[in-house]
Structure 1
Amino acid sequence: MATAPIFTPRDPNFAARVRASFDAQPLMGFIGAVLVSVEPGRCVIELPYRPELAQQNGFFHGGIVGTLADNAGGFAGYSLMAPEAGVLTVEYKLNLMAPAKGERLVAEGAVLRSGRNLVVSRAEVYVLGEAGKIHCATMQQTLMTMHGKGVA
């Protein structure tokens, strides 16, 4: 496997800007997600299990898994954008590889390529529980840089 690229953020205050944008997103607060870490081109988000986030068999719902993956990859990409920019997901492909049965989801987002207008990132999602750490989903996405549309 290739080594992860090393990126230099365009904004020296990228971490504070990413955290402010995460905190401004009502959905993340509503589901109880926590931004654990942000580095240039990388982001980790965790979500504790609640029955309201589950499907009928008690697993984290696939939509919740996708939401966490989309945000982890999106905020990883956002960390490399200019201070006045915003981020918008253009598309993503999610592979659900194992039931997300456990106590906590962890989504690890990483940028693969950061261009002026488009960013390609991925996220690996793990579920933590009695069975240990299980890789339950992989996502690849394309993000669009929204020039001049940053979050205030």
Structure 2
Amino acid sequence: MTPSPALDLTAARHVLDSQPFSRLVGARVTAFGDGGATLEIDVREELHQQNGFLHGGVVSYAADNALTFAGGTVLGPHVLTGGFSIQYLRPATGRTLRARAEVVHAGRRRAVVRCDLSTVDGDGAETLCAVAEGTVLPVATP
């Protein structure tokens, strides 16, 4: 798979930064291209749920955006999530949430994408906390 000529890591970062909610949670794109994308979020107290774990909505948000950015590497810059499912494997704890998405299959009208979501501790060790899979669809530009 080759990256979309209209998007590179710099452009992907600009797109993410244009999303107010992404700025609110502090998301950043750390890898983009060749059918894959990685999003990271620093874990902060205000992103926790009542038991002290990272809120599932934040984990789900990271999966959604990582899936879509990965799909955009093969479908082009104008894409939306068509739908996704997520399985939470264990509570998310650690310093950073890392969502790594990779295109599994791409056609002209959709891409099927998988995402592994891990937390990273202070020593850099990763713990898988959720997996997601979804479809990404191209949309007409305004």
> Could you tell me the TM-score, scaled by structure 1's length?
0.85
> Alignment partner for residue 139 of structure 1, among 108, 129, 132?
132
Q: What is the CA distance between 1:59 and its match in structure 2?
A: 0.7
Alignment of 1:3-152 (within 5 A): 7-9=1-3, 11-15=4-8, 16-82=10-76, 86-129=78-121, 132-149=125-142
Please give the alpha-carbon distance, in whole angstroms, between the structure 1 residues aligned to 2:49 and 2:27: 18
1:10-33 alpha-carbon deviations (Å, 9 max, x no partner)? x32421442322121111111011
Q: CA deviation at 1:129?
A: 1.9
Deviation at 1:130, TM superposition (A): 5.8
- Shift of residue 92, structure 1, vs aligned partner: 0.5
- Give secondary structure in 1 for the equivalent of 2:69: helix
Give the Cα–Cα distance (whole angstroms) in 1 for the partners of residues 140 and 86 of structure 2: 27
Unmatched segments (≥5 aa) in structure 2: none
What residue in structure 2 maps to residue 3 of structure 1? none
1:66-116 deviation per Cα after TM superposition (whole angstroms, max 9, x unaligned): 10011111101012223xx51111110100001101111000011111111
**Aligned partners of 1:140, 1:105: CA distance in 2, in Å?**
17
SS class of match (1:14): coil
Which amino acid in 2 is paired with 1:141?
A: G
Q: Contact conserved, 1:87 with 1:146, CA < 8 A, in 2?
A: yes
Task: Give the share of equivalent positions with the same residue, in percent.
Answer: 33
User: 12-21 vs 67-76, which deviates more?
Assistant: 12-21
RMSD: 1.6
Measured in 2, the distance between the counterparts of 1:13 and 1:91 equals 24
Shift of 1:56: 0.6
Structure 2 Cα separation of the partners of residues 33 and 97 of structure 1: 22
